[in-house]
Structure 1
Amino acid sequence: MTTPVSFRRRPDWAGRNYTLLTAAAVVTNLGSHGALIAAAFAVLEAGGDGGDVGLVAAARTLPLVLFLLIGGAVADRLPRHHVMVAANTLNCLSQAAFAVLVLAGEAQLWQMMLLSALGGTGQAFFGPASEGMLLSSVTAEQAGRAFALFRFASQGAVMGGAALGGVLVALIGPGWVLAVDSVAFAVAGGLRAFLDVSHVPDREPGHGMLADLRDGWREFIGRTWLWAIVVQFSLVNAVIVAADAVYGPQVARDSLGGAGPWGLALALYGAGNAVGALLMTRWKPRRLLLVGVLCVFPFALPSAALAVPTPITVLCVTMFVSGVSIEVFGVSWMTALHQEIPEEKLSRVSAYDWFGSVAMVPLATALAGPAESAVGRSAALWGCAALCTAATAAVLCVRDVRTLTRHSTPVTLSKPSAEPGSADAEGPVGRLG
């Protein structure tokens, strides 16, 4: 049934699945990023200190790292929307229990760590299934624009959720914010239950979980550009998270005027994310990975600005620029995955991507304090900037990263295609967590 142009509420290419996935992501991000603030204040109100806040955060990260690969294999064996809804249900129940404990004034540290671990487990299964579902929801011709709009909506919800969460924690307390997050997961799970998977080919009978993981590993390691960039971001994410989570607040307290200016800098980074995503709705670089990787270099600027430290206005500018640039990379990366990875293996490959991207973060945050004691905060921040720059420069030495081009149609083979950038791999000019 056609709709007159003047009454269209969404583009023709934004089908049912894409619309549901985007709406659910907005709802989830609004709730979960407010809940991150609420969880920290819940620990503090229960009598904990900064170390206890770190333990609760680590309790969420550890199962995320441990179960990501299994989550990717499960998402390629079962209907992805079922995996997503099950993960949302687990997150809903764990956050509801967290909220009840906090509202009752009886939350103990081990209980908060356990419930956070359940939330991380849900995310480990949700992430690969969600990315695989999103990548399969659009055509090759509209992939770049679709992913850019998805990230624009998601980043807007992240900013809104964090800002609203901070206000609500102050007004009504962390327990109620956690309860709101539980409801958000329930709503998002309900939306995802209506995803249509009739277009997805039936999965061939598998040979067990380990065989699926080995198959995903072969798909991952068989593409030099893929594993090289994941290795790059295992280091980039680790040092940038350490700089932002450990050193940034201390620099703000000592030299920038406290939490207010630091919050402004983080808000400017989020605004840069939104602008970068909006830019990528129009810009379709031909050599998408080359452009994307070049845009990772500005990601080192905030660490350098904190190392000086520069005035808050300069820091805000560097945060905004890095936010724009990293979104250019993010959209280019998603587009490359959509183009090059067979649909039936998207979740397994995404799981290896996620695993590589987060595996070193707990180690980096744990070593940030000792590094500061050993060499000083400024030197440690310069080290973060240097490592980010060196890792990015190194990955540009990979030929496939420099030569992979946008195709007009996605790869549909069940085995790795010709080496990206070769004559056989390049199609018509058209078309990358």
Structure 2
Amino acid sequence: MDDPKKRQRAALMRDHNFKWLLRGGVISMLGDQLTMVALPWLVLKLTGDTLALGFVIALMSIPRAVFILIGGAVVDRYSPKRVLMLSKYANALLLGVLTLLVLNNQPTLTLSLSESLTLTIDMNAHLTLMLIYVLAFGIGLAQAFGIPSGTSIMPQAIAAEHLQAANGVLMGLRQVSMLIGPLLAAGLLAISGNGADGVVADARGLAFAFGFDCLSFLVSAWTLSKVGILKAPEHNEAPQSVLRSVGAGLVMVWNDVPLRLCFIYWGTVSLFIGGAMQVALPVLASEKLHGASAFGLLMGANGAGMLLGMAVAAMAGARLRFASFGTVLLVGDAIAGVLVMPLGAVQAPWQACALMLGLGLLSGYMQINVFTWIQRRVPPHMMGRAMSIFMFIFMGLAPLSAAGAGWVLTVISLSQLFLGGGIILVVFATLAYLLTPIRSISSDNAPQPQ
């Protein structure tokens, strides 16, 4: 007898829209990973200053976190496909400029303004760094619109019965790109040249990385143009300003009790735990596990676990669901807390990797279920705003948590931070199970009418 799940997966792989989203997604994800390695390396080679590196990362992160709510409102007003297309073109333009900047080997840049007037610019390291700051800000701003549009287009392009499997495949590919991309970038930098200290010269590897990412955005924009919208969302919202639209999204989430409970819970966990892990793991690798190579192993183990968890959720998620969506969510967090507790006491890299593998497995499995639950529950015309609020919870609150964790580590030991963080996560999950209706939230809840 045919397996219905196999038939469903086969139908997904034959789906016209999914095939185009998959093709564009693969190349775009790989390009993103190249830039994530090449841009920090460019700044370090240019300045040798970790403060400058931190500033570049902040310039990408802050506009992304601040404007993502507005991005969600714009997505709902103008359609995910249109906004995603424009964000891809904007990213391609910014990365194209960055590629040309890196390829410029001349100490001066001469611009011909007319037959008798030219402008000569001294392309010193300081000016180059200023241009990189501007480009980093622009990339972060483009991501504020690209992220909610990218997560909102799925329900409009993929049939509801295929959403979980489609999310699993695309998120799984993102994890694969996170494993392969940095290795490819490192090879490019080693083989093709990675820039000389203090100048952007002999940097063909860097230029190739940025150029590939630029091309990946153009190609993925072309593949996106092939995607047809199954059904435009129907709604009767009167035209309103962007800020009012953001407010309407917040009201929608607040009025939907299951959404409100989950978003508040996730926000609390992100504020108290999310950023702390970002700070504590590099410190763990540096102080106890012999440095950068150990940190790479930890992140690799976590990525492998997430990939496995996503695959399990995509292929066998329904069969493994032993309780309601809310109960599975809280039990998963409680188990994650138990795995976090001993991280500060590990004595060997393999011990930390085993724990990170387990954490990644839980995270990957729940990511697929959470995204699918939101996509099925939220009305299509509110999807951009709902997804932007969801992403803001992690992108906006985690940096605050990271800053707090950095201060906490000046007061307590690393082992105490991991132990305390794990206990807090278990306590939060337990209290949410006992004192809130989260445990009864079903994965089959219908979207709330708007």
TM-score by length of 1: 0.85
Cα offsets for 1:128-154 (capped at 9, x unmatched): 111111133333333322222222222
Q: Aligned match of 2:316 in 282, 285, 302? A: 282
- From the superposition, tell whether residues 304 and 48 of structure 1 become closer, same or farther in structure 2 (CA, over 3 Å): farther
Contact 1:17 1:196 in 2 (8 A): yes
Contact 1:229 1:395 in 2 (8 A): no
CA distance in 2, matches of 1:381, 1:231: 23
Equivalent positions of 1:403-422 (< 5 A) are 403-407=440-444, 410-411=446-447, 414-415=449-450
Letter in 1 for 2:281: G
Cα offsets for 1:179-226 (capped at 9, x unmatched): 222221221122112221252245645233233222211211112332
SS of structure 1 residue aligned to 2:47: coil
Letter in 2 for 1:283: G
Cα offsets for 1:23-44 (capped at 9, x unmatched): 3222222111221111111111
Residue 59 (structure 1) aligns with: 59
- From the superposition, tell whether residues 240 and 165 of structure 1 become closer, same or farther in structure 2 (CA, over 3 Å): farther
CA distance in 2, matches of 1:228, 1:171: 51
Cα offsets for 1:59-85 (capped at 9, x unmatched): 111001111111111111112111001
- From the superposition, tell whether residues 300 and 94 of structure 1 become closer, same or farther in structure 2 (CA, over 3 Å): farther
SS of structure 2 residue aligned to 1:100: helix
CA distance in 2, matches of 1:20, 1:97: 27
Q: Where does the alignment leave 5 or more consecutive residues of structure 2 unmatched? A: 1-6, 106-123, 195-205
Letter in 2 for 1:12: A
Residue 279 (structure 2) aligns with: 246
SS of structure 2 residue aligned to 1:360: helix
Letter in 1 for 2:328: V
Residue 236 (structure 1) aligns with: 269
SS of structure 2 residue aligned to 1:73: helix
Letter in 1 for 2:232: V
Equivalent positions of 1:327-406 (< 5 A) are 327-397=364-434, 399-406=436-443
Contact 1:238 1:358 in 2 (8 A): no
Residue 360 (structure 2) aligns with: 323
CA distance in 2, matches of 1:388, 1:322: 13
CA distance in 2, matches of 1:302, 1:167: 34
CA distance in 1, matches of 2:76, 2:407: 41
Cα offsets for 1:74-124 (capped at 9, x unmatched): 111112111001111111122222233334365543322221111111111
Contact 1:27 1:188 in 2 (8 A): yes
Q: Where does the alignment leave 5 or more consecutive residues of structure 1 unmatched? A: 1-7, 416-433
Task: Count the aligned residue pairs.
Answer: 406
TM-score by length of 2: 0.82
> What's the CA shift for 1:398?
5.8
The answer on 1:133 being equivalent to 2:168 is no
Residue 47 (structure 2) aligns with: 47
SS of structure 2 residue aligned to 1:310: coil
CA distance in 1, matches of 2:183, 2:253: 38
Residue 209 (structure 2) aligns with: 177
Contact 2:273 2:401 in 1 (8 A): no
- Percent identical residues: 21
> What's the CA shift for 1:319?
0.9
Cα offsets for 1:330-385 (capped at 9, x unmatched): 11112211221111111111111111222122222333332222223333333433
> What's the CA shift for 1:397?
4.0
Residue 267 (structure 1) aligns with: 300
Task: Report the RMSD for the aligned CA atoms in angstroms.
Answer: 2.6
Contact 2:157 2:227 in 1 (8 A): no
CA distance in 1, matches of 2:56, 2:339: 27
CA distance in 2, matches of 1:71, 1:386: 36
Residue 143 (structure 1) aligns with: 163
Contact 1:98 1:112 in 2 (8 A): yes
CA distance in 2, matches of 1:398, 1:26: 42
Contact 2:156 2:231 in 1 (8 A): no
The answer on 1:200 being equivalent to 2:232 is yes
Contact 1:288 1:405 in 2 (8 A): yes
Cα offsets for 1:278-298 (capped at 9, x unmatched): 111212125123213322334
Contact 1:89 1:185 in 2 (8 A): yes
CA distance in 2, matches of 1:104, 1:398: 61
Residue 163 (structure 1) aligns with: 183
The answer on 1:257 being equivalent to 2:257 is no
CA distance in 2, matches of 1:111, 1:241: 32
